[in-house]
Amino acid sequence: MSAPLLPLITEAEELEAKIDEENLVIIDLSRAPIYARNHIPDAVHIEHSQIISSKPPVMGLLPSAEALSEVLSTAGITPESHVVAYDDEGGAKACRLLWTLDVVGHKHFSLLNGGLQAWVNENHPVSEGIETASPSEYKVTYTKNGIIDKAEILAKLGDPNVALLDVRSPGEYAGTDKRALRGGHIPGAVNLEWIHAIDQQYNLRLKEPNELQLLYIPIDVMPDKEVIIYCHSHHRSAHSYIVLKSLGYKNIKGYPGSWSDWGNDPELPIE
């Protein structure tokens, strides 16, 4: 397998320097009207709704392998592509795509640090209209990499080698902001809202790595543990997954469905 073209967290100037590389595919997950008005040259648009599926009340599940194969193929992605993803709202949609690529065993991908805000505000070139890619043939096979379900989580409750990280708002975590049949959190989970990783003053980039580590270490989310991350639908927690991956955490799991799955199942324990 070839070396990655770019680091996992890629700066706008790094991307601009590599923008003509043959194996580079840039994916824009902004809202469609924003994409049509303003996007990175050659970026192909994917709608966030195309990379998730729902079985109400459970949301944020993986699409079928066939459906995802079609989305990736239409975007011109091949297994050899280095995919750079971005969006217009802090990176959670982009990270959901990158987490999905991790689950299918895709090797090379990056998050554009700061997304569209950083790119536009720092005067990098933009295009308008709709870009189309030459279709590829990407056959998706889901792996167990980076993913966990409620039965597996249930079996790990109370394990000192496992950290459960709830990245919803404090109100959702406490159960005062109730968005499922039941409010609260998975027993033993610690709470750190996902937005604390973002530097609001610096075009929505991630905070510096040492600052990020100071968020996770005090709540015992340590690199030597298995870290299970969830939110309400594994949208916000996909962002935290990529953040921890960028910090060198090796054993991270995302929970598709998240609280919309756990909180709507009366058989499961809650705090």
The CA-to-CA distance between both ends of the chain, in Å, stands at 45
Instruction: Give the strand pairing for 205-206 and 198-199.
Output: antiparallel
pLDDT tens sequence across 211-266: 999 999 999 999 999 999 999 999 999 999 999 999 999 999 999 999 999 999 99
Domains of the chain in start order, with CATH, are 9-121 (3.40.250.10), 150-262 (3.40.250.10)
Task: Tell if the pTM clears 0.85, that is, is over it.
Answer: yes
- Measured at the alpha carbon of residue 194, what is the angle toward residues 28 and 146, in degrees to the nearest 5? 70
Active-site position among 25, 197, 231, 243: 231
In 3D space, the residue among 105, 104, 91, 121 whose CA is nearest the CA of residue 13 turns out to be 121
Per-residue pLDDT tens digits of the chain, which is 271 residues long: 688 999 999 999 999 999 999 999 999 999 999 999 999 999 999 999 999 999 999 999 999 999 999 999 999 999 999 999 999 999 999 999 999 999 999 999 999 999 999 999 999 999 999 999 999 999 999 999 999 999 999 999 999 999 999 999 999 999 999 999 999 999 999 999 999 999 999 999 999 999 999 999 999 999 999 999 999 999 999 999 999 999 999 999 999 999 999 999 999 999 9
- 95 flagged as catalytic: no
- The residue with tokens 């729902």 is 54
Residue 226 · residue 162 · CB < 8 Å: yes
pLDDT at 2: 80
Give the HSE-up count for residue 95: Cα atoms under 13 Å, Cβ half-sphere: 25
pLDDT at 232: 98
- Between CA 271 and CA 263 the distance in angstroms is 11
